[in-house]
Amino acid sequence: MNILKTEIEIEKYIDTLKNRDNQVQEHVLKDVDKILKDVKDQGDRALLEYTYKFDGVLLKDFKVSREEMKRAYEKADKSYIDALKISIENIKNFHQRQLRNSWIDNGKEGIILGQQIRPLKRVGVYVPGGKATYPSSVLMNVIPTKVAGVEEVIMVTPPDREGKVNQVVLAAAYMAGVDNIYKVGGVQAIGALAYGTESIDKVDKIVGPGNIYVALAKKQVFGNVDIDMIAGPSEILVIGDEYANEKFVSADLISQAEHDELASSILVTTSEELGKKVQVELRRQIEERNRKEIIEKSLNDYGVIIVVKNMEKAIEVANKIGPEHLELMVKDPFVYLGQIKNAGSVFLGAYSPEPLGDYMAGPNHVLPTNTTARFFSPLGVDDFIKKSSYIYYSKEALENIGENIINFANVEGLDGHGNSIKVRLEE
């Protein structure tokens, strides 16, 4: 990891971050559009053909039975089940605090205003397959839907060559309360959720991680259904002062670099000495990791150590980057918490590492990336509800404000709007 000190170097690096996942070849989008169209036009037939083409298995039935889900749970290692139980409880408790209430206001005579909160009816959760095994993502995407009161949660995930679903993922889905699971992945799964097929009902919203094909497919169907976000490569930014432990900092930077060659791991520090110690410690720790090649490429291409003159500048840089994960590994983290404006999730102190948030703490780990923390929030209960407002005016209340409405309508050249009020005033 290189050490950056000048403003020009920092700005150039931030520009590199913003553009790292924009180099999408045209044929990818072309392929995505074709698969989506085929699923929309042909339904299950297209799902069968693409599952055979990409997953190497000819399925007779897409649906995973309730018995199969239960068997996966019963056969799972007890220590894994115990960990799932703790994680589920913590995630549920955190998200229950996000619940909103409907409200009604009749403060003014003859006027009643209010807002009705309702959950979405059906949500689709995409879960990657292949070498990926992410039961934590199952929990983070499914539990908020259940807390919100969503009627049906559908999970889609690609089968292996034997036509089976990852058993670890299946056990997590069973415990999280997924209603129906279908053995279909990739762009075709997104198409099935967005348009519906003979076997799979259309959903109101699609959430969950995936590769570039899945991400682009979600982007293409947005508007026909809602989606969570277009997730980019994983990110971590650690703000460390002279008190930070270089072993902890290095381990946390590696924890994100191992995700993906495009992942970004950043240390912003007021201590050049810490930066140099981290450079040495990273080399030592990388040698011990299973995903050494991925980590090295990620850190070489997108990992940096930024040395700044004070904490004020460190926070300014962090807010400009708006990282997915931000660790305040400083002596008094709560002193600076209020100054953090742009971050998906903030981890405070030496003993609150990012993986704590991935698995156990409770806040959602589905977070905005690629500087979008400036305007996006973590996945939560709000993503699975909708709001309707309602209005009641008595005749007297409308008469009191009617002329003002007519004036508005006239200014906008919409005399039909004005007439809707006028006929009532003349009654």
* CA-closest candidate to residue 190, choices 154, 165, 143, 162: 154
Degrees to nearest 5, angle at CA 268 with 263 and 274: 110
Please name every residue paired with 180 in a beta bridge, in sequence order, or none if there are none.
154
Residues 126 and 156: their CA atoms lie apart, in Å, by: 5
CA distances from 302 to 13, 21, 267, 269, 317 (A): 8, 12, 11, 17, 16
In one-letter notation, the amino acid at residue 123 is V
| Gyration radius from the chain CA atoms | 25
Residues 266 and 274: their CA atoms lie apart, in Å, by: 13
Q: Give the catalytic positions in this structure.
A: 324-325
* CA-closest candidate to residue 354, choices 279, 258, 287, 283: 258
Helical packing angle, 246-257 and 272-286, nearest 10°: 60
Residues 265 and 59: their CA atoms lie apart, in Å, by: 41
Whether 216 contacts 60, CB under 8 Å: no
Residues 61 and 159: their CA atoms lie apart, in Å, by: 11
Whether 357 contacts 345, CB under 8 Å: yes
